[in-house]
Amino acid sequence: MIKSLRGMNDILSEDYERFTYFIELASNIAQNYGFHYIETPLLEETALFKRSVGESSDIVGKEMYQFIDKGENDVCLRPEGTAGVVRAFIQKKLDKAGGIHRFFYHGPMFRYERPQKGRLREFHQFGVESFGVASVYEDASMIMMVADILDACGIGYRLQLNSLGDSNCMPQYRENLVKFIESVEDEICEDCKRRKKSNPIRVLDCKNEKCQSLYVDAPKLINSLCDGCQSDFEKLKKILDENNIAYEIDTNLVRGLDYYSKTAFEFVSDNIGSQSAIAGGGRYDRLVEFLDGRATPAVGFAMGIERLMELIVMPEKKREGYYFGAMDEEALELILKLTQQKRKSKKAACDYKAKNLKNHLKGADKINARFCCIIGSNELANNTIWVKDLLNKTEETISLEEF
Ligand code: HAM
């Protein structure tokens, strides 16, 4: 039997209900915040991710579904959504047009990770990207949007916050950090030795316990921010305070992608095991220029839908729509005709087998229909239909005309 690939899941039935419920809810909230839907291809040139997510990241270094296509192009399945949206933004010349452009998207992402609970190779993100707003108020809006979405889903969270500085303060900090890393270099893991050369701040979120114990004494970027970054970070904290959004400052939060500057944030849940990050994002003011566009400030986030699906509190299911059934073979044709008529405007299901009333009522209950509509030989002879309202528990026989 052929099975789905490791770390790749089918989404159906009850899961699909949660999945679409979340997407609809999050899309509505994003639209309330003034965002418009964007769809970008699943397959992109590999160079796009190398240049944006960064060659030093695990995503690009180890986890890409990369191959040479029939036209000898080096392509890969997108591991995340931001790079494609930035590429589209530049390709459509929106960077040259100026102004503010806000997008939201959802869809599958692919990372060749070691699968475990909450960590898939094909997973789905809901994300937003905002271009053209340098103000930290936009960063705050992003965080408030995630909080709104999580609140609407009944999901509790902890928000972790950091500032990664900008081109004024980051280079000096990096130099200080490298000096520190060199002072403990004999004791750190091989990955960190590599990170020291490629992207030193990534050592700070190394999962190795030995490394973490050494980095306790590392210089903190948050103590080395330039005036601009410091003042924005203070403003951000103040806005969150005023909006009753609790946060923790995590000076080791550097995110697994290289494009961030200034604000970086992650929402985590304590109720889903070790893969606890349910959303992550931040500012990436240099990325548009880095991908050959006109310099444009930008900020965004993405949420992992599979991780959220475990946590969503679904609203109580309401009975809706019609179930049609025949008690005699002769009534089947009429039943199908009535179902088709109702389907033009309402949800309607039909059982194509003649059954007794008890079985039809069971069938209607199973699909959570509001009305169970039955035609037997009496009804057929009299041009009537028996209708039971399964919500109000009333029943009546009415003429087909009235129906
Ligand atoms: P990310 O932190 O790599 O950020 O991913 C965002 C979310 O996707 C994570 O918080 C997590 O919920 C989910 N996720 C990531 N990897 C997996 C996986 N293997 N299995 C299941 N869920 C996963 C980004 O992708 C950035 N593009 C976010 C962003 C948008 N930053 C700015 N704009």
Spacing, Cα 125 to ligand 1 middle (Å):
7
> What is the rounded average pLDDT of the residues 1-9?
98
Instruction: Provide the pLDDT for residue 258.
Output: 86
pLDDT at position 353 over 90 = yes
81 within ligand 1 shell (Cβ under 6 A): yes
163, 195, 199, 255, 344 from 177: Cα distances, Å = 16, 12, 11, 17, 66
pLDDT at position 323 over 90 = yes
Q: How confident is the model at residue 358 (pLDDT cuts 50, 70, 90)?
A: very high
Instruction: Provide the pLDDT for residue 205.
Output: 86
Distance CA 50, CA 258 (A): 10
> What is the rounded average pLDDT of the residues 377-402?
96
Instruction: Provide the pLDDT for residue 55.
Output: 87
Distance CA 120, CA 111 (A): 8
Spacing, Cα 319 to ligand 1 middle (Å):
36
> What is the rounded average pLDDT of the residues 111-135?
97
The DSSP-derived string for 233-253 is: HHHHHHHHHHTT---EE-TT-
If you search the block for the tokens 């009537």, which residue do you land on?
A: 384
Q: Which residue has the higher pLDDT, 199 or 124?
A: 124
Element (H, E) at 19: helix 13-32
pLDDT tens string 209-267:
999 999 999 999 999 999 999 999 999 999 999 999 999 999 999 998 889 999 999 99
Indicate where the chain has its CATH 3.40.50.800 domain(s): 322-399
Instruction: Provide the pLDDT for residue 207.
Output: 87
Instruction: Provide the pLDDT for residue 56.
Output: 83
Q: How many CB atoms lie within 10 A of CB 57?
A: 24
Spacing, Cα 107 to ligand 1 middle (Å):
12
367 within ligand 1 shell (Cβ under 6 A): no
Work out the mean pLDDT of the chain and round it to a whole number.
96
The residue nearest atom 1 of ligand 1, judged by CA position, is: 280
Which range among 52-61, 79-88, 298-307 shows the weakest confidence by mean pLDDT? Answer: 52-61
Spacing, Cα 57 to ligand 1 middle (Å):
13
pLDDT at position 46 over 90 = yes
Spacing, Cα 197 to ligand 1 middle (Å):
25
Interacting residues of 334 by C-beta distance below 8 A, sequence separation 6+:
326, 375, 380
Which one is the CATH code of 322-399: 3.40.50.800, 1.10.10.10, 3.30.1390.20, 3.90.700.10? 3.40.50.800
pLDDT at position 176 over 90 = yes
120 within ligand 1 shell (Cβ under 6 A): yes
Instruction: Provide the pLDDT for residue 266.
Output: 98
In eight-state DSSP terms, residue 314 is P
280 within ligand 1 shell (Cβ under 6 A): yes
Put simply, whether the predicted model's pTM sits higher than 0.75 gets the answer: yes
102 within ligand 1 shell (Cβ under 6 A): no
pLDDT at position 75 over 90 = yes
The residue nearest atom 15 of ligand 1, judged by CA position, is: 304
Percent of the chain whose pLDDT exceeds 90: 94
Strands 298-304 and 261-268: unpaired
> What is the rounded average pLDDT of the residues 43-72?
95
Instruction: List the beta bridge partners of residue 268.
Output: 158, 277
- Looking at CATH, the fold of the domain delimited by 13-169+225-311 is given as BirA Bifunctional Protein; domain 2 (3.30.930)
Indicate where the chain has its CATH 3.30.930.10 domain(s): 13-169+225-311
306 within ligand 1 shell (Cβ under 6 A): yes
Choice from 257, 276, 286 to test ligand 1 binding pocket (greatest atom count within 8 A of CB) = 257
Atom of ligand 1 nearest to the CA of 59: 3
The DSSP-derived string for 39-73 is: ---SEEEHHHHIIIIITTSHHHHH---EEE-TTS-
The residue nearest atom 29 of ligand 1, judged by CA position, is: 301
> What is the rounded average pLDDT of the residues 179-191?
94
Atom of ligand 1 nearest to the CA of 79: 25
Instruction: Provide the pLDDT for residue 346.
Output: 96
The residue nearest atom 4 of ligand 1, judged by CA position, is: 280
> What is the rounded average pLDDT of the residues 66-83?
98
129 within ligand 1 shell (Cβ under 6 A): yes
301 within ligand 1 shell (Cβ under 6 A): yes
pLDDT tens string 129-153:
999 999 999 999 999 999 999 999 9
Spacing, Cα 301 to ligand 1 middle (Å):
8
Spacing, Cα 266 to ligand 1 middle (Å):
10
The residue nearest atom 23 of ligand 1, judged by CA position, is: 304
Strand stretches in 187-294, DSSP E: 248-249, 261-268, 277-283
- Backbone φ and ψ for 387, nearest 5 degrees, come out as -125, 125
**Torsion, Cα of 216, 218, 219, 222 (10° steps):** -50
**Contact status, residue 32 vs residue 141, Cβ threshold 8 Å:** no
> What is the rounded average pLDDT of the residues 48-66?
93
